[in-house]
Amino acid sequence: MKTAVIVFPGSNCDQDMYYAIKDGLGEEVDYVWHAETSLDGYDAVMIPGGFSYGDYLRSGAIARFAGIMPAVVKAAQEGKPVLGVCNGFQILLESGLLPGAMLKNKNLKFICESVNLQVKNNQTQFSSLYDQNEVIRIPIAHGEGNYYCDDATLQELEDQNRIVFTYSGENPNGSRADIAGIINETGNVLGMMPHPERAADALLGSDDGLRLFQSILKHWRESTHAAYTS
């Protein structure tokens, strides 16, 4: 599985993401600069955390119009796995690949701590190696992770089982329905505020995040194997 990690000016979790895939998964991975226009040849796309374009105007608002974004949208439409973490999630929201928007954390503080997440849907290509309702420990680091959507959108997310992760116990940022991560309708685009790439090695305090990347790889292997044998 060949993975692209998109790098914007101001991305700061790109190297964590790179090493989670290279060392954690043992798979091929490249950095792809935001000014590139093609993601042909990549099987998966990661949009890392950080402060793209200084978070000017709104988090993700300017990154959403970067040269690489039409290729990200194309990859999503082709059914390739697209993962946006933290600022990456904000960019996916701004680009319309996922519904809703981010508000400032309810307590107005930048929160950097490990939190407990509950796996609400383990039937996705990003979460298949977790148990349903399993509680995992993953760090968050954001000032604007207070997920907002209107009632109709929340109903749709719930009805279609598209809330993949929720905060377990105390909700750190005030997000609607304790949402920490959601998936698109076709199940191949996941946005989440917590950082699985920062929990991909026991040396970092938790390796609960590694199974997310392993789930993506497992799905990719199964789907390419199916393609070869069909």
Partner 1 sequence: MKKVKVFITLKESVLDPQGQAVMQSLHNMDYKNVQDVRIGKYIELQLDDSANVAEEVDTICDKLLANTVIENYRYEIEEEVHS
Establish whether 195 is a catalytic residue. Answer: yes
225 touches partner 1 by CB under 8 A? no
Q: What is the residue type of 28?
A: E
110 touches partner 1 by CB under 8 A? no
What is the SS3 assignment for 169-194?
A: CCCCCCCHHHEEEEECCCCCEEEECC
176's CB contacts (< 8 A; 6+ apart) are 100, 147, 148, 149, 154
Alpha carbons within 13 angstroms on the beta-carbon side of residue 97 total 32
Establish whether 149 is a catalytic residue. Answer: no
Q: 58 or 137: whose CB is closer to partner 1? A: 58
Choose, from 27, 94, 149, 195, the residue flagged as catalytic.
Answer: 195
Establish whether 197 is a catalytic residue. Answer: yes
Footprint of partner 1 on 126-165 (CB under 8 A): 146, 148-150
Q: 76 or 149: whose CB is closer to partner 1? A: 149
- The residue within the footprint of partner 1, chosen from 23, 28, 37, 57 (CB under 8 A), is 57
With beta carbons less than 8 A apart as the criterion, state whether 138 and 115 touch: yes
Q: How far is the CB of 129 from partner 1 (least distance, A)?
A: 32
Q: Name residue, tokens 């099987």.
A: 43
Residue 145 tokens read as 């992770």
- The residue within the footprint of partner 1, chosen from 48, 50, 84, 100 (CB under 8 A), is 100
9 touches partner 1 by CB under 8 A? no
User: Could you tell me the CA-to-CA distances from 210 to 1, 26, 75, 99 in Å, in that order?
Assistant: 15, 11, 23, 26
Q: How many residues does the chain have?
A: 230
Choose, from 27, 86, 94, 219, the residue flagged as catalytic.
Answer: 86
Q: 15 or 171: whose CB is closer to partner 1? A: 171
Catalytic residues: 86, 195, 197
